[in-house]
Amino acid sequence: MFGLFSKREIEKRAEATTTYTFNAFQPGEQFPPYADRERISRQKRLKKIFQGKQLEVFERATALLKDTPHAPQLEKLYIAINLADILVTKPADLLVGEPPIFESGKPDDSPQQKAINSYVEENDLVQLIHESTIGNGYRGDAWIKIRYGYREDLTEVRKILSAEAFEVYKASFKAEPIIEHVNPEFVYPEVSRGNVKSFKAVNICTVEYVVSTKEEIPFLNVERHLPGFIKYERYRLHEYEGGVDTRFGYPLQTYNIGERVSTGREEDVIETGVPHLLVKHIPYKSVDDEWEGIGGIEKMEALLAAINDRVVQIDYILWKHSDPTAYGPDLEGVDGNAARFGGKYIPVTKEDATPGYMTWDGQLASAFKELELLITLAFQQAETPQWLFGSVLGENAGGTGTSHTDSAAIKARFMPILSKVKRIRTHYDKAIRDALWTCQLLDIEHGDADFEPVYPSIAWQDGIPKSEKELAEIMQIRTGNKPTIDVRTAIKRQDNLDDEKADEIIDRIEVDEKQINGFVEPSVFNDGGGS
Protein backbone atom coordinates (compact mmCIF):
# COMPACT_ATOMS: atom_id res chain seq x y z
CA MET A 1 0.00 0.00 0.00
CA PHE A 2 2.81 2.43 0.81
CA GLY A 3 4.40 1.77 -2.59
CA LEU A 4 1.11 2.62 -4.28
CA PHE A 5 0.82 5.81 -2.26
CA SER A 6 4.32 6.87 -3.30
CA LYS A 7 3.48 6.28 -6.94
CA ARG A 8 0.40 8.43 -6.71
CA GLU A 9 2.30 11.11 -4.86
CA ILE A 10 4.63 11.28 -7.87
CA GLU A 11 1.57 11.64 -10.07
CA LYS A 12 0.32 14.42 -7.81
CA ARG A 13 3.55 16.34 -8.37
CA ALA A 14 2.97 16.03 -12.14
CA GLU A 15 6.30 14.26 -12.61
CA ALA A 16 4.62 11.41 -14.50
CA THR A 17 1.40 10.64 -16.31
CA THR A 18 -0.53 7.66 -14.98
CA THR A 19 -3.29 5.81 -16.83
CA TYR A 20 -5.42 3.66 -14.54
CA THR A 21 -6.50 0.31 -16.00
CA PHE A 22 -9.14 -0.22 -13.32
CA ASN A 23 -12.15 1.64 -11.99
CA ALA A 24 -11.32 3.57 -8.82
CA PHE A 25 -14.91 3.13 -7.61
CA GLN A 26 -15.33 -0.61 -7.22
CA PRO A 27 -15.35 -3.17 -4.39
CA GLY A 28 -12.04 -3.43 -2.55
CA GLU A 29 -10.94 0.17 -3.24
CA GLN A 30 -10.86 3.01 -0.74
CA PHE A 31 -12.99 6.12 -0.96
CA PRO A 32 -12.09 8.91 -1.49
CA PRO A 33 -9.28 7.81 -3.83
CA TYR A 34 -5.86 8.69 -2.50
CA ALA A 35 -4.98 10.97 -5.41
CA ASP A 36 -7.97 13.24 -4.61
CA ARG A 37 -7.61 13.45 -0.84
CA GLU A 38 -5.29 16.44 -0.79
CA ARG A 39 -7.68 18.44 -2.99
CA ILE A 40 -10.77 17.50 -0.97
CA SER A 41 -9.05 18.13 2.38
CA ARG A 42 -7.90 21.53 1.16
CA GLN A 43 -11.39 22.49 0.05
CA LYS A 44 -12.93 21.41 3.35
CA ARG A 45 -10.23 23.21 5.33
CA LEU A 46 -10.61 26.45 3.38
CA LYS A 47 -14.38 26.33 3.78
CA LYS A 48 -13.92 26.37 7.57
CA ILE A 49 -11.70 29.45 7.22
CA PHE A 50 -14.31 31.15 5.01
CA GLN A 51 -16.99 30.41 7.61
CA GLY A 52 -14.90 32.04 10.33
CA LYS A 53 -14.28 28.71 12.10
CA GLN A 54 -10.51 29.05 12.20
CA LEU A 55 -10.50 27.61 15.70
CA GLU A 56 -11.40 24.24 14.16
CA VAL A 57 -8.48 24.43 11.74
CA PHE A 58 -5.54 26.07 13.42
CA GLU A 59 -4.74 27.36 16.92
CA ARG A 60 -1.15 28.45 16.63
CA ALA A 61 -1.22 30.87 19.57
CA THR A 62 -2.83 28.29 21.87
CA ALA A 63 -0.54 25.52 20.64
CA LEU A 64 2.57 27.56 21.39
CA LEU A 65 1.56 27.91 25.04
CA LYS A 66 -0.29 24.62 25.45
CA ASP A 67 2.00 23.50 28.30
CA THR A 68 1.65 26.74 30.27
CA PRO A 69 -1.11 28.03 32.58
CA HIS A 70 -2.07 30.55 29.87
CA ALA A 71 -3.47 27.93 27.46
CA PRO A 72 -7.05 27.82 28.90
CA GLN A 73 -7.25 31.61 28.81
CA LEU A 74 -6.03 31.81 25.23
CA GLU A 75 -8.56 29.20 24.16
CA LYS A 76 -11.37 31.30 25.62
CA LEU A 77 -10.03 34.51 24.07
CA TYR A 78 -9.50 33.11 20.57
CA ILE A 79 -10.87 35.59 18.03
CA ALA A 80 -11.50 34.70 14.39
CA ILE A 81 -10.94 37.63 12.03
CA ASN A 82 -13.04 36.60 9.05
CA LEU A 83 -11.28 38.48 6.27
CA ALA A 84 -11.79 35.53 3.92
CA ASP A 85 -15.53 36.16 3.69
CA ILE A 86 -15.34 39.74 2.46
CA LEU A 87 -12.34 39.11 0.21
CA VAL A 88 -14.14 36.44 -1.84
CA THR A 89 -17.58 38.09 -1.73
CA LYS A 90 -16.55 41.43 -3.23
CA PRO A 91 -15.38 39.99 -6.62
CA ALA A 92 -18.74 38.20 -6.89
CA ASP A 93 -20.52 41.49 -6.23
CA LEU A 94 -18.55 43.23 -8.97
CA LEU A 95 -19.02 40.33 -11.40
CA VAL A 96 -22.84 40.24 -11.36
CA GLY A 97 -23.82 43.15 -9.12
CA GLU A 98 -25.04 44.68 -12.36
CA PRO A 99 -26.73 41.75 -14.14
CA PRO A 100 -25.09 40.75 -17.44
CA ILE A 101 -27.10 40.63 -20.68
CA PHE A 102 -27.47 37.25 -22.37
CA GLU A 103 -27.83 37.54 -26.15
CA SER A 104 -28.47 34.98 -28.88
CA GLY A 105 -27.50 37.29 -31.75
CA LYS A 106 -31.01 36.79 -33.13
CA PRO A 107 -33.99 39.21 -33.09
CA ASP A 108 -35.65 39.74 -29.74
CA ASP A 109 -38.78 37.87 -30.82
CA SER A 110 -36.83 34.87 -32.17
CA PRO A 111 -37.38 31.49 -30.46
CA GLN A 112 -33.67 31.29 -29.64
CA GLN A 113 -33.66 34.58 -27.72
CA LYS A 114 -36.92 33.74 -25.96
CA ALA A 115 -35.50 30.36 -24.96
CA ILE A 116 -32.30 31.90 -23.57
CA ASN A 117 -34.31 34.46 -21.61
CA SER A 118 -36.35 31.60 -20.18
CA TYR A 119 -33.27 29.57 -19.18
CA VAL A 120 -31.73 32.59 -17.46
CA GLU A 121 -34.88 33.47 -15.55
CA GLU A 122 -36.06 29.98 -14.60
CA ASN A 123 -32.62 28.94 -13.32
CA ASP A 124 -31.92 32.25 -11.51
CA LEU A 125 -28.68 32.25 -13.45
CA VAL A 126 -27.35 35.55 -12.09
CA GLN A 127 -27.77 34.37 -8.51
CA LEU A 128 -26.20 31.03 -9.41
CA ILE A 129 -23.12 32.82 -10.79
CA HIS A 130 -22.87 34.98 -7.67
CA GLU A 131 -23.05 32.01 -5.28
CA SER A 132 -20.65 30.00 -7.40
CA THR A 133 -18.10 32.84 -7.48
CA ILE A 134 -18.13 33.13 -3.69
CA GLY A 135 -17.60 29.40 -3.17
CA ASN A 136 -15.04 29.34 -5.97
CA GLY A 137 -13.07 32.04 -4.16
CA TYR A 138 -12.06 29.77 -1.29
CA ARG A 139 -12.21 26.37 -3.05
CA GLY A 140 -10.52 27.25 -6.34
CA ASP A 141 -12.95 25.11 -8.36
CA ALA A 142 -16.64 25.27 -9.22
CA TRP A 143 -18.79 22.85 -11.21
CA ILE A 144 -22.22 23.21 -12.78
CA LYS A 145 -24.41 20.47 -14.22
CA ILE A 146 -27.02 20.76 -16.94
CA ARG A 147 -29.87 18.26 -16.99
CA TYR A 148 -33.33 17.92 -18.46
CA GLY A 149 -35.98 17.00 -15.93
CA TYR A 150 -38.31 18.22 -13.24
CA ARG A 151 -37.29 21.06 -10.98
CA GLU A 152 -39.35 19.67 -8.10
CA ASP A 153 -38.16 16.60 -6.19
CA LEU A 154 -41.02 14.10 -6.38
CA THR A 155 -39.35 11.16 -4.60
CA GLU A 156 -41.47 11.48 -1.45
CA VAL A 157 -44.68 11.89 -3.46
CA ARG A 158 -43.92 8.61 -5.25
CA LYS A 159 -44.05 6.79 -1.90
CA ILE A 160 -47.63 7.79 -1.08
CA LEU A 161 -49.22 7.32 -4.53
CA SER A 162 -49.80 4.31 -6.70
CA ALA A 163 -47.83 4.03 -9.93
CA GLU A 164 -50.81 5.13 -12.04
CA ALA A 165 -51.71 8.02 -9.75
CA PHE A 166 -48.11 9.16 -9.62
CA GLU A 167 -47.85 9.29 -13.43
CA VAL A 168 -51.00 11.41 -13.56
CA TYR A 169 -49.64 13.71 -10.85
CA LYS A 170 -46.21 14.00 -12.53
CA ALA A 171 -47.90 15.05 -15.78
CA SER A 172 -48.93 18.31 -14.07
CA PHE A 173 -45.25 19.32 -13.91
CA LYS A 174 -43.24 20.45 -16.89
CA ALA A 175 -39.80 19.03 -17.60
CA GLU A 176 -37.24 21.66 -18.57
CA PRO A 177 -33.48 22.30 -18.90
CA ILE A 178 -31.99 22.88 -15.46
CA ILE A 179 -28.62 24.41 -14.55
CA GLU A 180 -27.47 23.66 -10.99
CA HIS A 181 -24.43 23.67 -8.72
CA VAL A 182 -22.33 20.61 -8.04
CA ASN A 183 -20.24 20.55 -4.87
CA PRO A 184 -16.57 20.26 -6.01
CA GLU A 185 -15.89 17.94 -3.08
CA PHE A 186 -18.09 15.37 -4.84
CA VAL A 187 -16.44 15.62 -8.28
CA TYR A 188 -13.71 13.23 -9.46
CA PRO A 189 -12.72 13.99 -13.08
CA GLU A 190 -10.63 11.77 -15.34
CA VAL A 191 -8.33 13.73 -17.65
CA SER A 192 -7.78 12.86 -21.29
CA ARG A 193 -4.50 11.35 -22.42
CA GLY A 194 -2.14 14.10 -23.54
CA ASN A 195 -4.38 16.97 -22.40
CA VAL A 196 -4.66 17.67 -18.70
CA LYS A 197 -7.24 20.40 -19.36
CA SER A 198 -9.69 18.00 -21.04
CA PHE A 199 -11.87 15.38 -19.36
CA LYS A 200 -12.85 12.01 -20.78
CA ALA A 201 -15.20 11.34 -17.86
CA VAL A 202 -16.44 13.13 -14.76
CA ASN A 203 -17.61 11.16 -11.70
CA ILE A 204 -19.97 12.77 -9.19
CA CYS A 205 -19.73 10.66 -6.01
CA THR A 206 -21.77 11.24 -2.87
CA VAL A 207 -21.85 9.35 0.42
CA GLU A 208 -25.40 8.68 1.59
CA TYR A 209 -26.22 7.41 5.08
CA VAL A 210 -29.44 5.40 5.32
CA VAL A 211 -30.54 5.86 8.92
CA SER A 212 -32.97 3.59 10.75
CA THR A 213 -33.85 3.23 14.40
CA LYS A 214 -31.18 0.54 14.79
CA GLU A 215 -28.27 1.48 12.52
CA GLU A 216 -26.71 3.88 10.07
CA ILE A 217 -25.52 2.33 6.80
CA PRO A 218 -23.36 4.38 4.38
CA PHE A 219 -23.64 3.97 0.61
CA LEU A 220 -21.66 5.43 -2.27
CA ASN A 221 -23.65 6.85 -5.19
CA VAL A 222 -21.65 7.26 -8.40
CA GLU A 223 -22.97 9.36 -11.29
CA ARG A 224 -20.51 8.85 -14.13
CA HIS A 225 -20.75 11.41 -16.94
CA LEU A 226 -19.47 10.45 -20.39
CA PRO A 227 -19.96 12.26 -23.73
CA GLY A 228 -23.55 11.41 -24.61
CA PHE A 229 -24.19 9.07 -21.65
CA ILE A 230 -24.66 9.00 -17.87
CA LYS A 231 -24.04 5.79 -15.90
CA TYR A 232 -25.33 5.31 -12.35
CA GLU A 233 -23.82 2.95 -9.73
CA ARG A 234 -24.32 2.38 -6.01
CA TYR A 235 -22.04 0.59 -3.52
CA ARG A 236 -22.13 -0.37 0.13
CA LEU A 237 -19.50 1.48 2.16
CA HIS A 238 -17.77 0.20 5.29
CA GLU A 239 -16.28 2.38 7.98
CA TYR A 240 -13.19 0.98 9.64
CA GLU A 241 -10.96 1.75 12.59
CA GLY A 242 -8.44 4.48 11.80
CA GLY A 243 -10.33 5.50 8.68
CA VAL A 244 -9.50 9.19 9.05
CA ASP A 245 -6.79 10.78 6.90
CA THR A 246 -5.27 13.83 8.64
CA ARG A 247 -2.13 14.29 6.53
CA PHE A 248 -3.48 17.25 4.56
CA GLY A 249 -4.65 19.46 7.40
CA TYR A 250 -8.21 18.19 7.72
CA PRO A 251 -9.65 15.01 9.31
CA LEU A 252 -11.02 13.38 6.16
CA GLN A 253 -13.27 10.37 6.68
CA THR A 254 -12.35 7.40 4.46
CA TYR A 255 -14.20 4.19 3.66
CA ASN A 256 -13.75 0.76 2.14
CA ILE A 257 -15.98 0.16 -0.89
CA GLY A 258 -18.06 -2.97 -0.52
CA GLU A 259 -20.46 -4.87 -2.74
CA ARG A 260 -22.43 -3.22 -5.53
CA VAL A 261 -26.15 -2.79 -4.84
CA SER A 262 -29.17 -1.69 -6.82
CA THR A 263 -29.49 2.00 -7.64
CA GLY A 264 -33.27 1.90 -7.48
CA ARG A 265 -33.51 3.46 -10.94
CA GLU A 266 -35.40 2.08 -13.91
CA GLU A 267 -32.27 2.41 -16.08
CA ASP A 268 -28.65 2.67 -14.93
CA VAL A 269 -27.35 3.94 -18.28
CA ILE A 270 -29.01 7.03 -19.76
CA GLU A 271 -28.39 8.43 -23.22
CA THR A 272 -28.40 12.23 -23.01
CA GLY A 273 -28.72 13.01 -26.72
CA VAL A 274 -25.97 15.62 -26.37
CA PRO A 275 -22.51 14.75 -27.76
CA HIS A 276 -20.54 16.22 -24.87
CA LEU A 277 -20.32 16.17 -21.08
CA LEU A 278 -23.17 17.78 -19.16
CA VAL A 279 -20.82 18.89 -16.37
CA LYS A 280 -18.80 22.11 -16.74
CA HIS A 281 -15.69 23.06 -14.77
CA ILE A 282 -15.06 26.67 -13.70
CA PRO A 283 -11.65 27.34 -12.08
CA TYR A 284 -11.13 30.51 -10.04
CA LYS A 285 -7.61 30.94 -11.42
CA SER A 286 -5.86 28.39 -13.59
CA VAL A 287 -2.47 27.42 -14.97
CA ASP A 288 -1.65 25.35 -18.03
CA ASP A 289 -0.19 22.22 -16.43
CA GLU A 290 -3.06 21.05 -14.18
CA TRP A 291 -6.85 21.06 -14.24
CA GLU A 292 -7.31 22.06 -10.60
CA GLY A 293 -8.07 25.72 -9.98
CA ILE A 294 -6.32 28.01 -7.52
CA GLY A 295 -8.47 29.70 -4.89
CA GLY A 296 -8.13 33.22 -3.59
CA ILE A 297 -7.69 32.16 0.05
CA GLU A 298 -5.33 29.24 -0.44
CA LYS A 299 -2.19 31.40 -0.66
CA MET A 300 -3.27 33.47 2.36
CA GLU A 301 -3.67 30.76 4.98
CA ALA A 302 -0.44 31.65 6.80
CA LEU A 303 -1.27 35.36 6.75
CA LEU A 304 -4.78 34.80 8.08
CA ALA A 305 -3.38 32.59 10.84
CA ALA A 306 -0.84 35.26 11.77
CA ILE A 307 -3.55 37.96 11.85
CA ASN A 308 -5.66 35.87 14.20
CA ASP A 309 -2.65 35.14 16.42
CA ARG A 310 -1.74 38.80 16.65
CA VAL A 311 -5.29 39.83 17.59
CA VAL A 312 -5.39 37.06 20.22
CA GLN A 313 -2.08 38.26 21.64
CA ILE A 314 -3.22 41.88 21.87
CA ASP A 315 -6.50 40.87 23.48
CA TYR A 316 -4.67 38.62 25.94
CA ILE A 317 -2.28 41.40 26.94
CA LEU A 318 -5.13 43.83 27.56
CA TRP A 319 -7.06 41.31 29.61
CA LYS A 320 -4.00 40.17 31.56
CA HIS A 321 -2.93 43.67 32.57
CA SER A 322 -6.29 45.40 32.89
CA ASP A 323 -6.13 44.62 36.63
CA PRO A 324 -2.39 44.59 37.46
CA THR A 325 -0.81 43.27 40.63
CA ALA A 326 0.08 45.90 43.25
CA TYR A 327 3.00 45.94 45.64
CA GLY A 328 3.73 47.96 48.79
CA PRO A 329 4.01 47.76 52.58
CA ASP A 330 2.39 44.97 54.50
CA LEU A 331 -1.25 46.02 54.99
CA GLU A 332 -1.98 43.45 57.67
CA GLY A 333 -3.74 45.03 60.61
CA VAL A 334 -4.72 48.18 58.71
CA ASP A 335 -8.23 49.35 59.49
CA GLY A 336 -11.11 49.06 57.03
CA ASN A 337 -10.64 52.63 55.78
CA ALA A 338 -7.43 51.64 53.97
CA ALA A 339 -7.29 51.65 50.15
CA ARG A 340 -8.57 48.49 48.49
CA PHE A 341 -6.93 46.91 45.41
CA GLY A 342 -8.88 45.03 42.74
CA GLY A 343 -6.06 42.69 41.73
CA LYS A 344 -3.45 40.78 43.70
CA TYR A 345 -1.32 42.58 46.29
CA ILE A 346 2.28 41.73 47.17
CA PRO A 347 3.49 43.03 50.55
CA VAL A 348 6.99 44.56 50.51
CA THR A 349 9.06 44.89 53.67
CA LYS A 350 11.82 47.11 52.30
CA GLU A 351 12.40 50.75 53.28
CA ASP A 352 10.42 52.06 50.28
CA ALA A 353 6.86 51.85 51.51
CA THR A 354 5.23 53.68 48.58
CA PRO A 355 2.58 51.42 46.96
CA GLY A 356 2.92 50.80 43.22
CA TYR A 357 1.84 48.50 40.37
CA MET A 358 3.71 45.73 38.64
CA THR A 359 3.15 46.39 34.94
CA TRP A 360 4.61 44.83 31.83
CA ASP A 361 5.51 46.69 28.69
CA GLY A 362 3.64 44.52 26.16
CA GLN A 363 4.84 46.60 23.18
CA LEU A 364 1.24 47.13 22.10
CA ALA A 365 2.25 49.84 19.62
CA SER A 366 4.55 47.39 17.84
CA ALA A 367 1.89 44.68 17.96
CA PHE A 368 -0.67 46.97 16.34
CA LYS A 369 1.86 48.05 13.73
CA GLU A 370 2.56 44.44 12.82
CA LEU A 371 -1.18 43.75 12.69
CA GLU A 372 -1.62 46.61 10.20
CA LEU A 373 1.22 45.21 8.09
CA LEU A 374 -0.28 41.71 8.08
CA ILE A 375 -3.71 42.99 7.06
CA THR A 376 -2.16 45.13 4.32
CA LEU A 377 -0.30 42.10 2.96
CA ALA A 378 -3.52 40.06 3.03
CA PHE A 379 -5.33 42.68 0.97
CA GLN A 380 -2.42 42.90 -1.44
CA GLN A 381 -2.43 39.15 -2.01
CA ALA A 382 -6.18 39.33 -2.54
CA GLU A 383 -5.67 42.12 -5.14
CA THR A 384 -8.23 44.17 -3.25
CA PRO A 385 -7.85 47.77 -1.96
CA GLN A 386 -8.73 48.18 1.70
CA TRP A 387 -10.81 51.30 1.07
CA LEU A 388 -13.14 49.24 -1.13
CA PHE A 389 -14.97 48.26 2.06
CA GLY A 390 -15.47 51.83 3.26
CA SER A 391 -12.66 52.05 5.82
CA VAL A 392 -8.95 51.40 6.18
CA LEU A 393 -6.63 50.30 8.99
CA GLY A 394 -3.34 52.16 9.29
CA GLU A 395 -1.85 55.35 7.95
CA ASN A 396 -0.45 53.95 4.68
CA ALA A 397 -3.40 51.87 3.52
CA GLY A 398 -3.93 53.63 0.20
CA GLY A 399 -6.43 56.34 1.09
CA THR A 400 -10.18 56.10 1.23
CA GLY A 401 -10.96 55.83 -2.48
CA THR A 402 -13.46 58.71 -2.39
CA SER A 403 -11.31 61.49 -3.82
CA HIS A 404 -12.17 60.78 -7.47
CA THR A 405 -15.45 61.57 -9.15
CA ASP A 406 -15.05 60.88 -12.87
CA SER A 407 -15.35 57.30 -14.10
CA ALA A 408 -11.82 57.14 -15.55
CA ALA A 409 -10.26 58.05 -12.20
CA ILE A 410 -12.52 55.62 -10.33
CA LYS A 411 -11.60 52.78 -12.69
CA ALA A 412 -7.91 53.58 -12.22
CA ARG A 413 -8.33 53.28 -8.46
CA PHE A 414 -10.27 50.03 -8.90
CA MET A 415 -7.77 48.57 -11.36
CA PRO A 416 -6.41 45.77 -9.09
CA ILE A 417 -9.83 44.35 -8.24
CA LEU A 418 -11.18 44.95 -11.77
CA SER A 419 -8.30 42.98 -13.28
CA LYS A 420 -9.06 40.15 -10.87
CA VAL A 421 -12.76 40.19 -11.75
CA LYS A 422 -11.96 40.12 -15.47
CA ARG A 423 -9.76 37.07 -14.93
CA ILE A 424 -12.58 35.31 -13.07
CA ARG A 425 -15.03 36.37 -15.77
CA THR A 426 -13.13 34.60 -18.54
CA HIS A 427 -13.79 31.22 -16.92
CA TYR A 428 -17.44 31.91 -16.16
CA ASP A 429 -18.12 33.34 -19.61
CA LYS A 430 -17.09 30.11 -21.34
CA ALA A 431 -18.89 27.79 -18.89
CA ILE A 432 -22.16 29.75 -18.81
CA ARG A 433 -22.31 30.10 -22.59
CA ASP A 434 -21.67 26.35 -22.90
CA ALA A 435 -24.45 25.73 -20.38
CA LEU A 436 -26.98 27.87 -22.27
CA TRP A 437 -26.05 26.17 -25.53
CA THR A 438 -26.47 22.76 -23.88
CA CYS A 439 -29.88 23.83 -22.56
CA GLN A 440 -30.97 24.47 -26.13
CA LEU A 441 -29.73 21.05 -27.25
CA LEU A 442 -31.55 19.29 -24.40
CA ASP A 443 -34.71 21.30 -25.02
CA ILE A 444 -34.67 20.30 -28.69
CA GLU A 445 -33.82 16.65 -27.97
CA HIS A 446 -36.24 15.99 -25.09
CA GLY A 447 -38.69 18.90 -25.14
CA ASP A 448 -40.95 20.70 -27.59
CA ALA A 449 -38.39 23.26 -28.78
CA ASP A 450 -38.10 23.52 -32.55
CA PHE A 451 -35.35 25.91 -33.62
CA GLU A 452 -31.73 25.96 -34.73
CA PRO A 453 -29.53 26.22 -31.60
CA VAL A 454 -27.15 29.18 -31.42
CA TYR A 455 -24.08 29.75 -29.28
CA PRO A 456 -24.94 32.79 -27.10
CA SER A 457 -22.87 35.76 -26.03
CA ILE A 458 -22.81 37.57 -22.68
CA ALA A 459 -22.38 41.33 -22.19
CA TRP A 460 -20.80 41.61 -18.73
CA GLN A 461 -20.79 44.75 -16.62
CA ASP A 462 -17.75 45.85 -14.61
CA GLY A 463 -19.71 46.77 -11.48
CA ILE A 464 -18.33 50.33 -11.35
CA PRO A 465 -20.88 53.17 -11.19
CA LYS A 466 -20.98 54.96 -14.54
CA SER A 467 -21.58 58.60 -15.33
CA GLU A 468 -24.27 58.31 -17.99
CA LYS A 469 -23.91 61.96 -18.89
CA GLU A 470 -20.17 61.57 -19.37
CA LEU A 471 -20.63 58.50 -21.58
CA ALA A 472 -23.28 60.25 -23.68
CA GLU A 473 -21.06 63.28 -24.21
CA ILE A 474 -18.14 61.08 -25.28
CA MET A 475 -20.31 59.19 -27.79
CA GLN A 476 -21.73 62.47 -29.08
CA ILE A 477 -18.25 63.79 -29.79
CA ARG A 478 -17.02 60.56 -31.39
CA THR A 479 -19.99 60.13 -33.73
CA GLY A 480 -20.69 63.75 -34.65
CA ASN A 481 -24.08 63.83 -32.90
CA LYS A 482 -25.26 60.61 -34.57
CA PRO A 483 -27.30 58.03 -32.61
CA THR A 484 -25.17 55.23 -31.17
CA ILE A 485 -27.83 53.02 -29.61
CA ASP A 486 -31.39 52.00 -30.43
CA VAL A 487 -34.30 52.66 -28.08
CA ARG A 488 -34.83 49.01 -27.07
CA THR A 489 -31.19 48.43 -26.12
CA ALA A 490 -31.07 51.72 -24.22
CA ILE A 491 -34.10 50.78 -22.14
CA LYS A 492 -32.76 47.29 -21.47
CA ARG A 493 -29.40 48.53 -20.26
CA GLN A 494 -30.72 51.51 -18.33
CA ASP A 495 -33.30 49.58 -16.31
CA ASN A 496 -31.83 46.03 -16.52
CA LEU A 497 -34.91 44.68 -18.33
CA ASP A 498 -35.41 41.78 -20.70
CA ASP A 499 -36.78 42.08 -24.23
CA GLU A 500 -40.40 41.51 -23.25
CA LYS A 501 -40.47 44.26 -20.61
CA ALA A 502 -38.56 46.63 -22.90
CA ASP A 503 -41.11 46.04 -25.70
CA GLU A 504 -43.95 46.85 -23.31
CA ILE A 505 -42.34 50.20 -22.48
CA ILE A 506 -41.76 50.97 -26.16
CA ASP A 507 -45.41 50.20 -26.92
CA ARG A 508 -46.56 52.56 -24.20
CA ILE A 509 -44.22 55.28 -25.50
CA GLU A 510 -45.72 54.91 -28.98
CA VAL A 511 -49.25 55.20 -27.52
CA ASP A 512 -48.25 58.39 -25.71
CA GLU A 513 -46.76 59.85 -28.89
CA LYS A 514 -49.93 59.14 -30.86
CA GLN A 515 -52.05 60.84 -28.22
CA ILE A 516 -49.82 63.89 -28.22
CA ASN A 517 -49.76 64.11 -32.03
CA GLY A 518 -53.57 63.84 -32.12
CA PHE A 519 -54.03 67.34 -30.72
CA VAL A 520 -54.44 70.34 -33.11
CA GLU A 521 -51.33 72.40 -33.63
CA PRO A 522 -51.68 75.87 -32.02
CA SER A 523 -50.34 77.49 -35.21
CA VAL A 524 -53.65 76.97 -37.06
CA PHE A 525 -55.20 79.72 -34.98
CA ASN A 526 -52.66 82.19 -36.37
CA ASP A 527 -53.89 81.76 -39.94
CA GLY A 528 -55.61 85.01 -40.91
CA GLY A 529 -57.68 83.34 -43.61
CA GLY A 530 -59.42 80.99 -41.24
CA SER A 531 -62.90 81.58 -39.86
The domain containing residue 499 runs over which residues? Answer: 468-517
Does residue 4 lie in a domain region? no
Q: For 116-158, write each residue's pLDDT tens digit.
A: 999 999 999 999 999 999 999 999 999 999 999 999 888 889 8
| Same domain? 506 vs 438 | no
**Banded pLDDT at 2 (limits 50, 70, 90):** very low
| Same domain? 431 vs 505 | no
| Same domain? 497 vs 427 | no
Q: For 321-345, write each residue's pLDDT tens digit.
A: 666 666 666 655 555 444 555 556 6
Domains identified in the chain, total number: 2
| Same domain? 437 vs 511 | no
Does residue 108 lie in a domain region? yes
Q: For 215-229, write each residue's pLDDT tens digit.
A: 899 999 999 999 999
**Banded pLDDT at 380 (limits 50, 70, 90):** confident
CA 509 to the chain's CA centroid: 42
Does residue 51 lie in a domain region? yes
Q: For 70-91, write each residue's pLDDT tens digit.
A: 555 545 444 556 788 888 999 9
| Same domain? 446 vs 489 | no
Going by C-beta distance under 8 Å and a sequence separation of 6 or more, which residues neighbour residue 243?
253, 254, 255, 256
Report the distance separating Cα 163 and Cα 154, nearest Å.
Answer: 13
Does residue 1 lie in a domain region? no
| Same domain? 286 vs 390 | yes
State the distance between the two ends of the chain, measured CA to CA, in whole angstroms: 110
| Same domain? 63 vs 196 | yes
Does residue 213 lie in a domain region? yes
Q: Is the pLDDT of residue 356 over 70?
A: no
Does residue 525 lie in a domain region? no
Does residue 337 lie in a domain region? no
| Same domain? 20 vs 126 | yes
pTM higher than the cut 0.75: yes
| Same domain? 302 vs 162 | yes
| Same domain? 447 vs 497 | no
CA distances for 321 relative to 63, 125, 314, 326, 345, angstroms: 22, 54, 11, 11, 14
Task: Report the SS3 class of residue 264.
Answer: coil
| Same domain? 472 vs 415 | no
